Chain A
Amino acid sequence: MTGDTLYRGKQVGRSVPRIEGRAKVTGRAEYIHNLRLPGMLVAKIFRSTVAHGRIRRIDVSAARAVEGVHQVVTGADIRSVIANPYYGPAFHDQPILALDKVRFVGEPVAVVLAADPHVAEAAAQLIVAEYDELPAVFEEVEAMTSKAVVHDVLKPAGTFADLKHLENRRDTNVALDYHLRRGDVDQAFATADRLFEHTFRTQQVLHLPLEPFVSVAETNGSTVTVHTASQGPSFVRTEIARLLGWPENRVRIRTAYLGGGFGAKLYIKLEALAVALALLARRPVKVALTMEEQFYQITKHPCTFRIKSGVKDGRITARECEVWWNGGAYADIGPRVTQKSGFTAAGPYDIDNVKIDSYALYTNRPPAGALRGFGIPQLVWAYESHTDLIARELGVDPLEFRRKNILRNGRPQATGTVMRDAEIEAVLERIAARMDWRKPVERGTGTIRRGRGMAIGFKAVIAPTTSVAIINLSADGSCAVYCSTVDMGQGSDTVIAQIVAEELNLPIEVITVVHPDTDVTPYDMGTLGSRGTYHMGNAVRLGCEDVRVKIRALENELNLAPGTNVPVTELFKRKYGMQAGNIVGVGSFVPTYKSPDHDTGLTPNATPFWMIGGSGAEVEVDTETGHVKVVKLVNVADVGRPINPKIVEAQLSGAATMQLGFTMFEEMQLDAGQVTNASLADYKIPGLRDLPAMENEAVAANQHDGPFGAKGVGESGTFGVSPAIANAIHDAVGVRLTELPLTAEAVYRALRKAQNNPIEDA
């Protein structure tokens, strides 16, 4: 904002190196993982060994007797500081420590506190708990009718209007049922040329951020501070204040850089436990999970999806979707996944008659929540596998079939919302071009067969949500941005700094982004669902506008003409007589939105913006072993106009690689509800050797009301990966896999079955 140097016009659309680069490559970036406070105790959690049972007895006497143990805490003790200790974003269903019942293997039952983590760990092993086991239910479709009921009564949080009707509902595992009705599906099925029906499943996987969950709480009795690796500090504050019955201004939540998030560290996780323990112990308490314990904290919904389509003259005329989401023992944000993703279950196609039924189910598995796509990858897996099967059955090229049915701008989506700034067609065409789709595939001979596949998906950003930003211009011309967007690796600090640099005509180097601290940074709904760039980006822009208005007012006050080139540092000096004072701008952004009708699911304004993502895959399948090698993976997305192209590309390739793990090998193995592969030794995540040749592209696009035309990007790279690969496998060897992951064993079994020579199970 100096008069002579111009930065405006050069800050956005440029691959600025990340502003925290030096801190990260020198090992000095701040993570809550590193935090130690004077007098701090460390918590070690004792967990349930049964999937569903009434607690008969918890014996902590031996643990309490260990030298160095400060305290041992059970659910009953928690009640002495938090009377109604149930938390959660959608339902108040999760006890801080188990009370009366346990509902999954791994549920926290008791905690040992000690200054030395080794002491706490050794003592926790001396705790004994006895349970009266209850029948358990693990599968989502079975949970619809199971006599095993996970929660006796539903307890919706009241935060969301569309969950209120569930209050006090009894003896059901259905946490939410969402329905959409558009046109007349039955009539259209009756007049269709052909009907197609398939059922697809996805497995349970998890986020596994390399910085495991960690929260540190400290309290003086009248205020509480939680240092936490959280993607949603504002929500955590509201929820802790509610649990304590305190006003929000006595609760302070702060974060640092996160060592990965991916949706795991959303809403409230360890924070309530850390606060309760700090209140009980009257000392700072750190609750830090191990890698193994992450398998019991939050996971991705396994899903069963039955999809049926009617086709007439090569056009999809009707589609019926039934989706069951396995939410595990506690709802977390599952009911929102059910609704917010449910309404796109029919896919990015122009279909006049749509019927969707989407159910969130409680089961006795570890809880499920949001994981990079909020349910969308599960849906795309099903509808794009289904689309490919229809095209094959009809003998039509899958690209041509999609071209004929694709949802274009100006046409209504299933909710009735008319599509805008959604470059679905461009994404499809760019995948086709990069895959050289017109050229026939070199199929190979002998035991190695080649094939290719494609898939496209879309997602509506969550609505309605709010972001607030404060821009503080100091008298030396430097600038600090106060906002509660969390940089968990996606690069938000850099992108926010670029927006401010552009808006205020400043070099990036003089801008800092203050990390979330609810005593300082204003409200933000959360860093989730690819909403940050658009929502916080817009709030930051508005805050900068406010700063410019205030600078103009100061110039007026100093009798300077509009357009003066007097540097802002000089303005401060003239006003205050020295380098002093601040100019503070505030921006608040909440997009328009209209809730869907409860009965029909219809709304004219379902979302502020659409994310479009798709992939093309080329594979080699070894028919002797079933081994699949992905030789090429193309990921294309509509992200609006990228603010930082290099960061955008990294998001696309990172998301696609994560989804590649979920597609090819990641799977939580459960035996009677017990996770049997809860470690990186037994649960493999993608490494350098798993990477195919990859191409990533953001298509030419513009989000009309996004900051500089931008919208979200974090999840779009995940959408098409799984079905593109399954479609390519089908193309290569003629077998269809309907369940993830696409392991060599699954492919080989399918090949043997196709030869009428199935492998008998031992």
Chain B
Amino acid sequence: MSAKRTIRFTLNGQKVTADVAPHHNLVEVLQDQFALFGARESCSQGLCGCCTVLVNGKAVSGCLYIAAFVDGAEVSTVEGLAAGDRLSPVQEAFIETNAFQCGFCTPGFVLMTTQLLDEHADPDDEQIKHYLSGNLCRCAAYPEIVQAVKLAARKRKGA
């Protein structure tokens, strides 16, 4: 196992450092060094979306993302979305529409929806499918998730 080096990056708005080995992925570093468990490794192939993290505003698969590459980047996880006790509109919408069951995939869907609405304030069905088809939900809360995206879009416009 190779030597570690220190990297610096911004994590949910705070400047941080981490000691990472070349083989460490972003999920491991978030979990082991920052106790952030919202991004979680499931399929280990970048196919399920459970490990979604925003790097410079774009969703990446944290299980495939070499941690050393976030040196100097802005990293956002689901834990950074709420402002204190105040949930983000996307988070509120997921609760109000029951857009989850077991919740294991939920942070990935919430982050992906956040990126979608950042880029398309009023997404149509095809845009929703395009952005969210890379996230899997084995409980299949898909109809409710689509409702959540639409509700979140309305909430953000009203805000």
Interface residues of A (CB under 8 A from B): 15, 17-18, 20-29, 31, 33-34, 36, 68, 116, 118-119, 207-212, 257-262, 290-292, 488-491, 646-647, 650, 653-654, 657-658, 679-681, 685-689, 691, 694
Q: Assess whether B102 is in contact with A26, with CB atoms less than 8 Å apart.
A: no
Mask, B112-147, CB within 8 Å of A = 1, is 000000000000000011001101111111111110
Could you tell me the distance in whole angstroms from the C-beta of A539 to the nearest C-beta in chain B? 23
CB-CB nearest in chain A for B40: A33
Q: Assess whether B78 is in contact with A657, with CB atoms less than 8 Å apart.
A: no
Task: Give the total of B residues in contact with A, Cβ under 8 Å.
Answer: 52
Q: Assess whether A688 is in contact with B79, with CB atoms less than 8 Å apart.
A: no
Q: Which residues 71-123 in B have Cβ within 8 Å of A in the complex?
A: 77-79, 81-82, 87, 91, 94-96, 98, 100-107, 110
Separation of A314 and B78 alpha carbons in the complex (Å)? 60
Separation of A650 and B144 alpha carbons in the complex (Å)? 8
Separation of A31 and B107 alpha carbons in the complex (Å)? 13
CB-CB nearest in chain B for A21: B95
- The residue that A680 contacts in the complex, of B48, B79, B128, with Cβ under 8 A, is B48
Q: Assess whether A654 is in contact with B79, with CB atoms less than 8 Å apart.
A: no
> 11 more A-B contacts (CB under 8 A) besides A26-B38, A27-B106?
A17-B96, A17-B98, A27-B79, A28-B38, A33-B40, A212-B42, A291-B42, A489-B100, A650-B144, A679-B45, A688-B145
Most buried by B among A18, A260, A261, A694: A260
- Write out the residue numbers on chain A whose beta carbons fall within 8 Å of the beta carbon of B128: 688
- The residue that B94 contacts in the complex, of A21, A118, A491, with Cβ under 8 A, is A21
- Write out the residue numbers on chain A whose beta carbons fall within 8 Å of the beta carbon of B101: 260, 489-491, 650, 654
Question: Please, could you name 12 A-B residue pairs with CB atoms under 8 Å apart, sorted by A?
Answer: A17-B98, A21-B94, A25-B91, A31-B40, A210-B136, A211-B104, A654-B101, A679-B45, A687-B136, A688-B146, A689-B133, A694-B143
CB-CB nearest in chain A for B90: A25
- Write out the residue numbers on chain B whose beta carbons fall within 8 Å of the beta carbon of A259: 40, 42, 102-104
For the complex of A and B, list the 4 residue pairs with the smallest distance between their C-beta atoms, beginning with the closest: A27-B38, A489-B102, A259-B104, A24-B103
Separation of A139 and B77 alpha carbons in the complex (Å)? 47
Could you tell me the distance in whole angstroms from the C-beta of B21 to the nearest C-beta in chain A? 8
- Write out the residue numbers on chain B whose beta carbons fall within 8 Å of the beta carbon of A681: 45, 47
- Write out the residue numbers on chain A whose beta carbons fall within 8 Å of the beta carbon of B87: 22, 25-26
Known: A26-B82, A290-B44, A687-B136. A210 touches B95 (CB 8 A): no
Interface residue B31 (Cβ < 8 Å from any Cβ of A): yes
Could you tell me the distance in whole angstroms from the C-beta of A210 to the nearest C-beta in chain B? 5
- The residue that B1 contacts in the complex, of A28, A31, A118, A290, with Cβ under 8 A, is A118
CB-CB nearest in chain B for A209: B138
Separation of A211 and B141 alpha carbons in the complex (Å)? 16
Separation of A292 and B38 alpha carbons in the complex (Å)? 22
Interface residue B37 (Cβ < 8 Å from any Cβ of A): yes
Separation of A118 and B25 alpha carbons in the complex (Å)? 11
Q: Which residues 7-34 in B have Cβ within 8 Å of A in the complex?
A: 23, 31-32
Separation of A258 and B101 alpha carbons in the complex (Å)? 10
Interface residue B36 (Cβ < 8 Å from any Cβ of A): yes
Could you tell me the distance in whole angstroms from the C-beta of B3 to the nearest C-beta in chain A? 14
Interface residue B67 (Cβ < 8 Å from any Cβ of A): no
Q: Assess whether B138 is in contact with A27, with CB atoms less than 8 Å apart.
A: no
Q: Assess whether B43 is in contact with A488, with CB atoms less than 8 Å apart.
A: no
Separation of A638 and B142 alpha carbons in the complex (Å)? 23
Interface residue B59 (Cβ < 8 Å from any Cβ of A): no
Main secondary structure on chain A at its contact with chain B?
A: loop
- The residue that B47 contacts in the complex, of A15, A680, A694, with Cβ under 8 A, is A680
Could you tell me the distance in whole angstroms from the C-beta of A705 to the nearest C-beta in chain B? 27
Known: A27-B78, A28-B38, A210-B48. A260 touches B98 (CB 8 A): no
Separation of A691 and B132 alpha carbons in the complex (Å)? 13
Q: Assess whether B37 is in contact with A27, with CB atoms less than 8 Å apart.
A: yes
Separation of A259 and B43 alpha carbons in the complex (Å)? 13
Separation of A650 and B50 alpha carbons in the complex (Å)? 20
Separation of A209 and B45 alpha carbons in the complex (Å)? 15
Q: Assess whether B95 is in contact with A258, with CB atoms less than 8 Å apart.
A: no
Most buried by B among A27, A29, A490, A686: A27
Separation of A211 and B43 alpha carbons in the complex (Å)? 9
- The residue that A210 contacts in the complex, of B37, B105, B143, with Cβ under 8 A, is B105
- The residue that B81 contacts in the complex, of A17, A20, A26, A691, with Cβ under 8 A, is A26
Separation of A257 and B132 alpha carbons in the complex (Å)? 24
Separation of A259 and B133 alpha carbons in the complex (Å)? 20
- Write out the residue numbers on chain B whose beta carbons fall within 8 Å of the beta carbon of A20: 103
Q: Assess whether A25 is in contact with B146, with CB atoms less than 8 Å apart.
A: no
- Write out the residue numbers on chain B whose beta carbons fall within 8 Å of the beta carbon of A290: 44
- Write out the residue numbers on chain B whose beta carbons fall within 8 Å of the beta carbon of A208: 138
CB-CB nearest in chain B for A291: B43
Q: Assess whether B136 is in contact with A680, with CB atoms less than 8 Å apart.
A: yes
Q: Assess whether B103 is in contact with A489, with CB atoms less than 8 Å apart.
A: yes
- The residue that A650 contacts in the complex, of B1, B91, B141, with Cβ under 8 A, is B141
CB-CB nearest in chain A for B93: A25
Known: A210-B138, A211-B42. A26 touches B79 (CB 8 A): yes
- Write out the residue numbers on chain A whose beta carbons fall within 8 Å of the beta carbon of B140: 653-654, 657-658, 686
Separation of A290 and B145 alpha carbons in the complex (Å)? 26
Separation of A681 and B129 alpha carbons in the complex (Å)? 19
- The residue that B104 contacts in the complex, of A260, A292, A647, A685, with Cβ under 8 A, is A260
Q: Assess whether B142 is in contact with A691, with CB atoms less than 8 Å apart.
A: yes
Most buried by B among A257, A658, A680, A691: A680
- Write out the residue numbers on chain A whose beta carbons fall within 8 Å of the beta carbon of B144: 650
Separation of A119 and B1 alpha carbons in the complex (Å)? 8
- Write out the residue numbers on chain A whose beta carbons fall within 8 Å of the beta carbon of B48: 210, 291, 680
- The residue that A116 contacts in the complex, of B1, B104, B142, with Cβ under 8 A, is B1
Could you tell me the distance in whole angstroms from the C-beta of B69 to the nearest C-beta in chain A? 18
Could you tell me the distance in whole angstroms from the C-beta of A672 to the nearest C-beta in chain B? 25
Q: Assess whether B136 is in contact with A685, with CB atoms less than 8 Å apart.
A: yes
Q: Assess whether A260 is in contact with B139, with CB atoms less than 8 Å apart.
A: yes
Separation of A33 and B31 alpha carbons in the complex (Å)? 11
Q: Assess whether B106 is in contact with A24, with CB atoms less than 8 Å apart.
A: yes
- Write out the residue numbers on chain B whose beta carbons fall within 8 Å of the beta carbon of A257: 102-103
Q: Assess whether A209 is in contact with B98, with CB atoms less than 8 Å apart.
A: no
Q: Assess whether A647 is in contact with B98, with CB atoms less than 8 Å apart.
A: yes
- The residue that A18 contacts in the complex, of B50, B91, B98, B107, with Cβ under 8 A, is B98
Separation of A195 and B136 alpha carbons in the complex (Å)? 45
CB-CB nearest in chain A for B31: A34
Separation of A119 and B2 alpha carbons in the complex (Å)? 11
Q: Assess whether A654 is in contact with B139, with CB atoms less than 8 Å apart.
A: yes
Could you tell me the distance in whole angstroms from the C-beta of B138 to the nearest C-beta in chain A? 5
Separation of A24 and B107 alpha carbons in the complex (Å)? 8
- Write out the residue numbers on chain A whose beta carbons fall within 8 Å of the beta carbon of B139: 260, 489, 650, 654
Could you tell me the distance in whole angstroms from the C-beta of A2 to the nearest C-beta in chain B? 25
CB-CB nearest in chain B for A691: B142
- Write out the residue numbers on chain A whose beta carbons fall within 8 Å of the beta carbon of B100: 18, 21, 24-25, 489
- Write out the residue numbers on chain B whose beta carbons fall within 8 Å of the beta carbon of A258: 102
- Write out the residue numbers on chain B whose beta carbons fall within 8 Å of the beta carbon of A24: 100, 103, 106
- Write out the residue numbers on chain A whose beta carbons fall within 8 Å of the beta carbon of B98: 15, 17-18, 646-647, 650
- Write out the residue numbers on chain B whose beta carbons fall within 8 Å of the beta carbon of A21: 94-95, 100
Q: Assess whether B142 is in contact with A657, with CB atoms less than 8 Å apart.
A: yes
Could you tell me the distance in whole angstroms from the C-beta of B136 to the nearest C-beta in chain A? 6
- Write out the residue numbers on chain B whose beta carbons fall within 8 Å of the beta carbon of A654: 101, 139-141
